[in-house]
Amino acid sequence: MTAPELVLTPSEMKQADRDAIASGIPGIKLMRRAGRAVAECAEKLASPGAAIVVAAGPGQNGGDGFIAASLLAERGYRVTLGLLGPAERLMGDAAEAAQGWKGGIVPIEDLRFDDADLIVDALFGTGLARDLGGEARLAVERMNASAKPILAVDLPSGIDGDTGAVRGAAVRADRTVTFAARKPCHLLMPGRAHCGAVEVADIGIPRPILEARGGTLFANAPALWRHRLPRPGLTSHKYERGHTLVASGGATRTGAARLAARAALRIGSGLVTVASPPEAIGVNAAHLTAIMLRGCDGPEGLHTILQDQRFNALVLGPALGVHAGTRAMVTVAVHARRSLVLDADALTSFEGLASELHGAFSHAPTVLTPHGGEFTRLFKGRPDLLDPESKIERARRAAAYTGAVVLLKGADTVITAPDGRAAINENGTPYLATAGSGDTLCGLIAGLMAQGVPAFEAACAGVWIHAEAGERFGPGLIAEDLAELVPGVLRDLLR
Ligand SMILES: NC(=O)C1=CN([C@@H]2O[C@H](COP(=O)(O)OP(=O)(O)OC[C@H]3O[C@@H](n4cnc5c(N)ncnc54)[C@H](O)[C@@H]3O)[C@@H](O)[C@H]2O)[C@@H](O)CC1
Ligand SMILES: [K+]
C-alpha cells in the first residue's frame, strides 16, 4: 500500500529540518542536496551552455540558489547571480553556500532577466515574512515581465507558504522544485497556479521525522482512502450495502435530489430512496426506476421514515428551500443519528444561526459541503471561523466547532475532520462548475457512508472520484453525466 502524501506547513518543515539536523545530518548537507536538486531540474529545462540567471534572496532559499549556481557553472552553463541585499548579511549555511560560488555577485536591480534562457528564482521560500516591496517586488515583476522560463526554488517567491496567497507580488513559475514534502501553497489557490509543475526532491530527511512534525495534512489522493472503499463479497446482500435516503424539494425543484440519489446508487449504496413532498411524488415517480420513492411531508414525515433503522445515510439540502422547515428537518436527522450530508439550503437555512450548530454533529458521522459563499453565510458573526487567512485553518476550525467533517469547496477543495486531519484536493476540473454538480457530490459521499466508509474518508473519496469523473468527460460535461462515469473510475480504483 502506498503511503498517503504528507503536506507540511512551513513551520512544520522548519521543525523537521531541525530534527534532521539534530539527528546528525548537517544543515549545509541538506542545503547542498536541495541546491543539487534545483541544478538537476535546471539542466532538464535549459540546453547545454545556456544562459541561466539566478536571483538569490537573503535567507536559506538564496543559499539553495548559490549551490545551484555553483553546480550549473561547473557543468558549463553561463550563470549570472544577483543578490537581494549585501552579501555580508548572509548568515549560517547560506553564507557558507555563497562562499562556494566563484562567480561575481551583481545587485539584484542590475540583473538582466531578458538575457536569460532560464531564470532560477531563489529569492524567498518558506521564510517570507511580509508583503513584497521595494527591490524584491521590482525583481519579481521584472522576472514575470521577461516571459522567460522560471524555475522556482521551494516555492515561487511572494507566495505565502501556508495559505497560497500572493503577498504583494509573486513569481509565476513554470516549474517548482520543493524539498522533502509539498507545502500547502503548492496545492492551494492561487499559489498552485503560480508553481507550474511541482517536483518534490528527497533531501534525505527521513519520513518518520516528517510524520512526527506533520502527519495531519495530506494531498487528497487514493492513497489516503482507497483501503476504505467497499468491496462487496460474493455473499453480500443489498441491505448490507446500506440504504441512502435523499430528501427532495417541491414539485418544481426535484432534480437535485434525483441527481444525488443516482450518484449514491452508482457509488454502491445497496438501496436508495427519494423522500418526496406529497405534491412532488408524481414528478419524481415519472423519473425514477431503480431508485425508490417515499412520500415525506416535512420534518414529521422525515421523523416517521427514519423510524426504519435501515435508512443509514441521509442527504439533506439540495433544493429543499431556505426556511425554518429545512432547519427542522436537519434537527430531525441529527436526532436520528444517521450518517448525514448537509449541503446548499440545509446550510443556508442556518444563516446567522451558527451557534445552533455548535457541537451539533458530534454524535453521528456528518459531512457539511459548503462553497465559500455558503461557508461565510453559515458562520456569519463568527470571526474566529471566518478570519483565518488559511482556507485549511477556516475549515479546521469549522469542523472542530460543529463536530462535522467540513468540505470547503473550490478549485482547491479542502476537507477537514474534527480531529484535525485535513486534505487538499487538486484533481478538480473547471468543467465541474455546472448546475447539479454539487448535488452529485453529496450523493457520492452519502452513498459511501451508507456502505460504512467513515465520514472523512467518504468526503475525500467522494471529492476525488467526482473530480476524476469530470476530468474524464471534459468539455460538455453536465451533472447527469457524472454518476454514469463513476463505475469506470471505481473499476480503476478497485483494481
Ligand atoms: N528542509 C528545509 O527546511 C530546508 C530548507 N531549505 C531552504 O530554506 C528556505 C527557508 O529559509 P529561510 O527560513 O532562511 O527563509 P527564506 O530564505 O525564504 O527567507 C528569509 C529571509 O528573507 C527575508 N524576508 C522575508 N520576507 C521578506 C520580504 N517580504 N522582503 C524582503 N525580505 C524578506 C528575511 O528577513 C530573511 O532574511 C526554504 O524555502 C528552502 O529553500 C534548504 O536549504 C534545505 C532544507
Ligand atoms: K523561491
Picking from 485, 462, 487, 490, the residue whose alpha carbon sits closest to that of residue 474 is 485
304 contacts: CB under 8 Å, gap ≥ 6:
none
Q: How far apart are CA 337 and CA 255, in angstroms?
A: 26
3-state secondary structure of 443: helix
**What contacts 24+ positions apart, CB below 8 Å, involve 411-415?**
411/189, 412/164, 412/187, 412/188, 412/189, 412/192, 413/220, 413/463, 414/188, 415/220, 415/456, 415/459, 415/460, 415/463
Q: How far apart are CA 145 and CA 114, in angstroms?
A: 9
pLDDT of residue 68: 98
* pTM of the complete model: 0.96
| Cβ of 132 below 6 Å from ligand 1 | yes
pLDDT of residue 239: 72
The residue to mutate among 124, 167, 176, having the most atoms of ligand 1 within 8 angstroms of its beta carbon, is: 124
Q: In the numeric block, which cell numbers belong to residue 175?
A: 516549474
Q: How far apart are CA 84 and CA 109, in angstroms?
A: 8
Q: How far apart are CA 6 and CA 260, in angstroms?
A: 31
Ligand that comes closest to the CA of residue 62: 1
pLDDT, averaged in runs of 10, over the chain (495 residues): 93 97 97 98 98 98 98 98 97 98 97 97 97 98 98 98 98 98 98 98 96 95 96 76 97 97 97 98 96 97 98 97 97 98 97 95 97 96 96 98 97 97 94 94 98 98 97 94 97 95
pLDDT of residue 288: 94
| Cβ of 127 below 6 Å from ligand 1 | yes
* Residue written as grid cell 467533517: 405
Q: How far apart are CA 435 and CA 433, in angstroms?
A: 7
Q: Is 64 annotated as a binding residue?
A: yes
Q: Is 359 annotated as a binding residue?
A: no
- State the closest ligand 1 atom to the C-alpha of 205, by its place in the atom list counted from 1: 1
| Cβ of 58 below 6 Å from ligand 1 | yes
| Cβ of 30 below 6 Å from ligand 1 | yes
| Cβ of 64 below 6 Å from ligand 1 | yes
pLDDT of residue 400: 98
pLDDT of residue 231: 87
Q: What are phi and psi of 200, to 5 degrees?
A: -105, 120
| Cβ of 61 below 6 Å from ligand 1 | yes
The residue to mutate among 13, 91, 126, having the most atoms of ligand 1 within 8 angstroms of its beta carbon, is: 126
pLDDT of residue 397: 98
Q: Is 126 annotated as a binding residue?
A: yes
Phi-psi region at 158: left, alpha or beta (left = phi > 0; alpha = psi -120 to 50): left
Spacing, Cα 117 to ligand 1 middle (Å): 25
pLDDT of residue 470: 95
176 contacts: CB under 8 Å, gap ≥ 6:
151, 152, 153, 154, 155, 156, 186, 195, 196, 197, 198, 199
Q: In the numeric block, which cell numbers belong to residue 85?
A: 541585499
Amino acid identity of 83?
A: L
Give the E-state strand segments of 241-321 in sequence order.
Answer: 243-247, 271-276, 292-295, 313-316
| Cβ of 210 below 6 Å from ligand 1 | no
**Does the interface predicted TM-score (ipTM) exceed 0.85?**
yes
Question: In Å, what is the CA distance from 36 to each residue of 53, 75, 96, 192?
Answer: 16, 12, 15, 23
Q: In the numeric block, which cell numbers belong to residue 55?
A: 536571483
Q: Domain residue spans in the chain?
A: 10-215, 222-494
Q: How far apart are CA 217 and CA 426, in angstroms?
A: 14
Do the Cβ atoms of 129 and 168 come closer than 8 Å? no
In this structure, is the dihedral angle defined by the CA atoms of residues 431, 434, 436 and 438, taken in order, positive or negative? Answer: positive
Question: How many other CB atoms sit within 10 Å of the CB of residue 145?
Answer: 10
Q: How far apart are CA 380 and CA 423, in angstroms?
A: 24
Q: How far apart are CA 442 and CA 368, in angstroms?
A: 9
CATH superfamily of 10-215: YjeF N-terminal domain (3.40.50.10260)
Picking from 414, 410, 354, 358, the residue whose alpha carbon sits closest to that of residue 378 is 354
Q: How far apart are CA 387 and CA 382, in angstroms?
A: 8
**Which pairing describes strands 150-153 and 175-179: parallel, antiparallel, or unpaired?**
parallel
Do the Cβ atoms of 19 and 123 come closer than 8 Å? no
Q: In the numeric block, which cell numbers belong to residue 385?
A: 471561523
Q: How far apart are CA 62 and CA 384, in angstroms?
A: 36
Query: 222-494 has which fold?
Result: UDP-N-acetylmuramoyl-L-alanine:D-glutamate ligase (3.40.1190)
pLDDT of residue 238: 75
